[in-house]
Amino acid sequence: MVNFASLSLLALGLISSQALAAPATVTATESVAATKSKAAGHERFSFAKWVDTIIADPDTALSPQEALQAYLDTVNSTTSAPAHDKRWDSQYECNYNSDKQAKASDAVICINNLAAAGQVPCTARKVTSNSGTGMSTLVYCLYGTAMLGPAGPWYDDSSKWGTCQSIAQTAGAIMDTCTQPNAMVAGIRWYDLTGTTAGHRRLQ
């Protein structure tokens, strides 16, 4: 069953200008080197950096399953450096309610698909809960337990939605901040990764 965010959570954010995060410039060589370093336990795996490699060179980027495994390997490694902890950052809000969390294995599929879609405007579609409540929401991607979509008072304004790649980049940052040791995740980032006001992203 799909887990929908509560109405109060949907109303928290502010949305104004369109998200236009620029594609990262990561070479295939850098991608391979970074992957080897993470595999050796030198650095906590970053989903945001993984998205950058998909944008730069999808042929050499890790698959969603490989990315999640790399994260789990480094999280469980006693030698890995701590992740860049952004929980202090007011732009992030993690949801630790297990009823609202998605499996990280489902979330990475959504993120991979959006990153691969390119710098095109992303379209959100309406989905209705199958729990009998009649609740509906807009989503960019729905896969398994994961739902990635806009939120806030103007969440249904398509001019605020941004590109698929900018949404994937922001979702990767949410994953870095909010993914739990049990590989469950839910959260919001209020602005895109350029630091400009934008349609914030909900990952739940």
Within-domain flag for 143: yes
Q: In this predicted model, what pLDDT tens digit does every residue of 17-76 receive, in sequence order?
A: 223 233 333 344 444 444 444 444 457 899 999 999 999 999 999 999 999 999 999 887
Query: Is residue 2 a part of any domain in this protein?
Result: no
pLDDT of residue 202: 67
97 located within any domain? yes
Residue 151 lies in a domain: yes
Q: Which residues contact 137 (CB under 8 A, 6 or more apart)?
A: 4, 5, 10, 126, 127, 147, 149
The model's pLDDT over 87-141, given as tens digits with 9 standing for 90+, comes to 446 778 888 888 888 999 999 999 999 999 989 988 888 888 665 666 788 889 9
Strand pairing report for 141-143 and 92-94: unpaired
Number of domains observed in the structure of the chain: 1
**Per-residue model confidence as pLDDT tens digits over 78-89:** 555 444 444 446
Comparison of pLDDT for 7 and 97, the residue scoring more: 97
In-domain check, residue 103: yes
Expressed as residue numbers, the domain containing 171 is 7-203
pTM attached to this predicted model: 0.72
- Confirm whether 65 is domain-assigned: yes
- Residue 71: its H or E element: helix 64-75
pLDDT at res. 1: 39
Q: 132's torsion region: left (phi>0), alpha (psi -120 to 50) or beta?
A: left
CA distance 127 to 1: 12
pLDDT bracket for residue 203 (50, 70, 90): low
Whether residue 100 is contained in a domain is answered as: yes
Contact 137, 100 (CB under 8 A): no
Give, rounded to a whole angstrom, the gap between the first and last alpha carbons of the chain: 13
Average pLDDT over residues 177-188: 90
Q: 181: Cβ–Cβ under 8 A, 6 or more apart, which residues?
A: 75
CA 196 to chain centre: 18
DSSP assignment, residue 166?
A: H
Q: Considering the domain boundaries, does residue 1 fall inside one?
A: no
Of 97, 111, 93, residue with least CA distance to 167? 111
pLDDT at 2: 38
* Per-residue model confidence as pLDDT tens digits over 132-176: 666 788 889 989 999 888 876 667 777 777 889 988 998 998 999
* Per-residue model confidence (pLDDT) at position 10: 27
